[in-house]
Structure 1
Amino acid sequence: MPFILGFFIVFALSSYAEQPSSERLEKPLILATTAYIPPYVIESNERGIQLSIIRGAFDLGQLGAFKVEFMSNKRMVASLLNGEVDMTINAPDNIEGIYYSEPVLYYENVAVALKNKNLDLRSSANFNGLSVFAFQNAASFLGKDFSLSINKMKSYDEVVNQMAQIDHLMKGWVDVIVIEKRVFNFYLEEYKKTHRVDEVSIFTIFGQAPRPMAFRDKILRDKFNVFLLQFKQSLEYSAMLDSPTNL
């Protein structure tokens, strides 16, 4: 009986090995992200700089297909922790048991003012007496100096709708907007289609923020890092960063 059982196990494994790979493909990986962070992530057609770079690294390394699922930040983190998804974009730092990749790219938050205001913004201290319109949760993201400067501003508001930031700036309703640089350029191009725009000054006072991927599996993270670094040396990667509206 043991001999017969062993024979059938070997036969079954041999038959599996002989099947075409298409018949035994593993279930696609699942990448979770929030739905709309243009130009980084755009739900329609699953476009955006970050998605394109991640696909480029996966394709280069033949790491397999992945499915994109869009969800809130809170659900994204919970889904990563409980194993419903395999990897995420823009997960919070220092989640225990999660493996972070090398930066896919860097975000750069900036202060933007109309050029005719003649402002010279070199640090958060220069916001004193100004009306500032920032992205949601900017006070939490931009560090202690910025947070402390809020009480000395003429007014301070945060908003989810970043097109509203462009509109308020161009209409002179606020002195300064605080926004990620490529996000600003993306929305400015959209705004130009229907509105006149004035020249602006962009102040790079907040530094760059690395944006890694977060993985549940260390081996997959390690493989992704290898091919991400290779992809970042390519002209394709440079083109994605330089022409985000063409993705």
Structure 2
Amino acid sequence: MKLFVLYLLVLMPQLAQSKELKLVFGLSLPPYVISENETGIEMDIIREVLEMDGHTLKPIFTTFEKVPILARKKGFAGAATVTKDLAKKNLFITDSHIKYQNFAITLKSSKTTINGLNDLAGKKIVAFQNADKYLGNEFKEAVGKAAKYEEVRFQEVQNRGLFNKTFDVVIGDINIFKYYNQKIKDVDTSPEVTYHAIFEPSHYHMAFQNKEIAEQFNKGLAKLKSDGRYQKIIDKYVKSDSML
């Protein structure tokens, strides 16, 4: 028995020793995750935090539906961009390392007032794909009263639609919207917009199979925020007035 306890005492620290961590990510979602070159706000944050303890990131990309499934599989260290409910699946959930913030976005010149979901009635609205599922039943009911409602796969279609005045309102994450404004060259995206805060933020976490790595991540994340590097990563991709 004593030998077994001694074995555990020797083994446990080794479980979190510096190593390559194979982590599961959803498909590309710029500027948070850019799978083509393994960069983006979220990926850069995760990579820098892991490097503080000598770990290297090995991202594996899959559909969002498969992320929580693969996170528990042998051969993987965990997953990114998960919700707290994965703690019930024998995974260790970290503090939130990233926040998505959806807004109703309008041209400032339109002088549109949107204080709640009911104010979406009668307007021409474009949203991200599956928004009516992610944003809940109240949102689905509200856009059912819109003059026009479309969901599109590509964010730049939303941006173009707003600045071309095809739509009155864009429903989307503020950083994704700003990122594509910087990328679009064939449409004037300089007119001022108004961000109507009618949605709660969505906080996401890391899920690790190893408790010690999760604890290391929390400490590293706190340090990244306190020394200003967290904000610098965001500023690489979107303007510094981002509300991430």
Structure 2 length-normalised TM = 0.83
User: Partner of 1:53: helix, strand, or coil?
Assistant: helix
Determine the structure 2 residue equivalent to 1:223.
216
Determine the structure 2 residue equivalent to 1:76.
67
Paired with 2:217 and 2:84, the residues of 1 have a C-alpha distance of 18
Is 1:109–1:207's contact at 8 Å kept on the other side of the alignment? yes
* Correspondence 1:34-45 to 2 at 5 A: 34-45=26-37
2:126 to 133, 137, 142: 133
**Which residue identity is paired with 1:49?**
I
Is 2:23–2:71's contact at 8 Å kept on the other side of the alignment? no
Paired with 2:153 and 2:104, the residues of 1 have a C-alpha distance of 17
Paired with 1:187 and 1:158, the residues of 2 have a C-alpha distance of 17
Determine the structure 2 residue equivalent to 1:58.
50
Between the aligned residues of both structures, percent identity stands at 26
Shift of 1:140: 2.3
**Which residue identity is paired with 1:127?**
L
After TM superposition, the structure 1 stretch with the greater mean CA deviation from structure 2, 128-137 or 179-188, is: 128-137
Paired with 1:231 and 1:199, the residues of 2 have a C-alpha distance of 32
Shift of 1:59: 1.8
**Which residue identity is paired with 2:157?**
A
Paired with 1:83 and 1:160, the residues of 2 have a C-alpha distance of 33
Paired with 2:142 and 2:181, the residues of 1 have a C-alpha distance of 27
Describe the superposition over 1:187-214 as per-residue Cα deviations: whole angstroms up to 9, x where unpaired: 01111x2322333222122132212112
User: Partner of 2:149: helix, strand, or coil?
Assistant: strand
**Which residue identity is paired with 1:29?**
L
Determine the structure 2 residue equivalent to 1:194.
186
Structure 1 length-normalised TM = 0.82
Is 1:83–1:216's contact at 8 Å kept on the other side of the alignment? no
Shift of 1:92: 4.5
**Which residue identity is paired with 1:46?**
E
Shift of 1:37: 1.0
Shift of 1:243: 3.4
Determine the structure 2 residue equivalent to 1:5.
none
Larger Rg over CA atoms:
1
Q: Does 1:169 align with 2:166?
A: no
Shift of 1:164: 0.8
Is 2:102–2:201's contact at 8 Å kept on the other side of the alignment? yes
Determine the structure 2 residue equivalent to 1:105.
98
Determine the structure 2 residue equivalent to 1:94.
85
**Which residue identity is paired with 1:146?**
F
2:107 to 89, 114, 117: 114
User: Partner of 2:103: helix, strand, or coil?
Assistant: strand
Describe the superposition over 1:65-123 as per-residue Cα deviations: whole angstroms up to 9, x where unpaired: 22111111123222112234212122344132222110112111111112222101111
Shift of 1:51: 1.0
Is 1:130–1:175's contact at 8 Å kept on the other side of the alignment? yes
Is 1:129–1:154's contact at 8 Å kept on the other side of the alignment? yes
Q: What is the root-mean-square deviation of aligned Cα atoms in Å?
A: 2.0
Determine the structure 2 residue equivalent to 1:9.
none
Q: Does 1:31 align with 2:18?
A: no
Paired with 2:116 and 2:30, the residues of 1 have a C-alpha distance of 27
2:117 to 117, 120, 124: 124
Determine the structure 1 residue equivalent to 2:232.
239
Paired with 1:199 and 1:66, the residues of 2 have a C-alpha distance of 38
**Which residue identity is paired with 1:169?**
L
**Which residue identity is paired with 1:34?**
G
Is 1:134–1:179's contact at 8 Å kept on the other side of the alignment? yes
Describe the superposition over 1:140-199 as per-residue Cα deviations: whole angstroms up to 9, x where unpaired: 2223432321222112221211111111111111111101000000001111x2322333
**Which residue identity is paired with 1:185?**
K
Paired with 1:239 and 1:233, the residues of 2 have a C-alpha distance of 12
Structure 1 residues 144 and 90, CA gap change in structure 2 (3 angstroms): same
Residues matched between the structures, number: 220
After TM superposition, the structure 1 stretch with the greater mean CA deviation from structure 2, 81-90 or 123-132, is: 81-90
**Which residue identity is paired with 1:32?**
V
